[in-house]
Amino acid sequence: MNDYGQAKFLNNIRKALRVDCKRVCPDLFCRQSAEESMLTIDRISSRPHSLRLLLLEKMIEAAKPLNLNVIPVKTLPEAAQEIIKLASEKKPEWGDEESVVLWKHPLIEEMNIVEILRERNIAVIFSNQPDTGQTERDRLVKESAGSFIGITSADYCIAETGTLVLKTAPGNERIVSLLPSIHVAVIKLEQLIADFKELYTLLDKNLENDPEWIENGMTFITGPSKTADIEATMVHGAHGPRELYIYVVTGTC
């Protein structure tokens, strides 16, 4: 059987470490104590609205030096209006045709943005093409690359750093947050967490319920694409989106 060099390779490692392959390392994969993780998760889920708003303020601060726009809105329709306004202000980066590519996601559906976009002659592309094969997929990539705006939601958002956490899933394609010139993310205030420690505690919890929760991909996005490779001068929009807007729906209470 071809093990692609694995057995010999790992054996070399064991020899170098002077260990036996039968050894057990009980605590190698063990996560933080259940108690500690329970506490953290409780803290997150019972965090009062006022504290979440404080986190939001913190994120707005963190976003400034990153050239990241964090915009609180009360409701989803308000978010939709803001996005429409943005679309009318911006020009396509490649070619003249205006098109927007979207995730298939309950939050985005609830915004009811598709109709309004179409009314304004902006083409709408859904990323969740049924898996009909290569040509369909190629077309999606091509169209996304031509889009000037890509709209996603996120699984979590980290206040300390302004980071979006996006899991890859059918309908939640990676290219939507990558290829368009402008990336727009819509999240609810409840998705906002304090820091990476909280994130990894939540991820651990998810993994406990479903070891394949991350499946084949997850991306952290902190600000728009950037580079400082020419004389250390910061330029936004190296390869990924040049601008990033996060709309946080805070609710009306």
Partner 1 sequence: MIRINTENYRDEAIKGINDPVLQKALADLQVRFGRGTAEAYRNLPEGPGLRRKAHEIRMKAVENLDILLERLSEKIRARGGHVFFAEDADAAVKYCLETARKHNVRLAVKGKSMTTEEIGLNNAFAAAGIEIAETDLGEYIIQLAGEHPSHIIAPAIHKTRSEIGLLFSEKLKIPFTTDPETLTRAARKALREKFLSAGMGISGCNIACAETGHITVVSNEGNIRMSTTLPKVHVAFMGMERITARLSDHDILFRLLSRGAAVQKMAGYVSYIGGPRQAGHADGPDEFHLVIIDNGRTKILADEEFREMLCCIRCGACLNVCPVYGKIGGHAYGYAYSGPVGAVVTPLLVGINRAKDLCLGETLCGACKDACPVDIDLPRMLLLLRSKLADGDSKWNAGRENTGEKMLYGIWSEIVQRRWAYDAMLGLSREGSRLFTGKDGMISSLPFFLQGWTESRDMKPPARKSFMRQWKKLEKQRRVK
Can residue 35 be called a binding residue for partner 1 (CB under 8 A)? no
Q: Is 159 left (phi over 0), alpha (psi -120 to 50) or beta?
A: alpha
CB of 56 to partner 1, least distance (A): 17
Report d(CA 34, CA 12) in Å as an integer: 36
Can residue 67 be called a binding residue for partner 1 (CB under 8 A)? no
CA distances from 32 to 26, 37, 156, 194, 201 (A): 14, 7, 20, 18, 8
Can residue 10 be called a binding residue for partner 1 (CB under 8 A)? yes
Can residue 150 be called a binding residue for partner 1 (CB under 8 A)? no
Buried b (16+ CB within 10 A) or exposed e, 161-181: bbbbbbbebeebbbbbbbbbb
Segment interacting with partner 1, rule: CB under 8 A, options 2-10, 40-48, 51-59, 74-82: 2-10
- Comparison of 190 and 204: residue with beta carbon closer to partner 1: 204
Report d(CA 162, CA 67) in Å as an integer: 11
Can residue 51 be called a binding residue for partner 1 (CB under 8 A)? no
Can residue 225 be called a binding residue for partner 1 (CB under 8 A)? yes
Tell which one of 38, 39, 51, 207 touches partner 1 (CB under 8 A).
207
Can residue 216 be called a binding residue for partner 1 (CB under 8 A)? yes
Strand 243-249 versus strand 69-73 pairing type: parallel
> Where is 52: in which H helix or E strand?
helix 49-63
Mask for 89-128, x = binds partner 1 (CB under 8 A) = --------------------------------------xx
Contact present, 184 and 153 (Cβ < 8 Å): no
Q: Restricting to residues 230-249, which ones interact with partner 1 according to CB under 8 A? A: 230-233, 235, 237-241
Contact present, 191 and 154 (Cβ < 8 Å): yes
Residues that contact partner 1, how many (by CB under 8 A): 76
Query: Which one-letter amino acid corresponds to residue 79?
Result: A
Tell which one of 85, 112, 142, 208 touches partner 1 (CB under 8 A).
142
Can residue 155 be called a binding residue for partner 1 (CB under 8 A)? no
Can residue 199 be called a binding residue for partner 1 (CB under 8 A)? yes
Terminal alpha carbon distance of the chain: 63
Segment interacting with partner 1, rule: CB under 8 A, options 44-52, 81-89, 108-116, 196-204: 196-204
Can residue 203 be called a binding residue for partner 1 (CB under 8 A)? yes
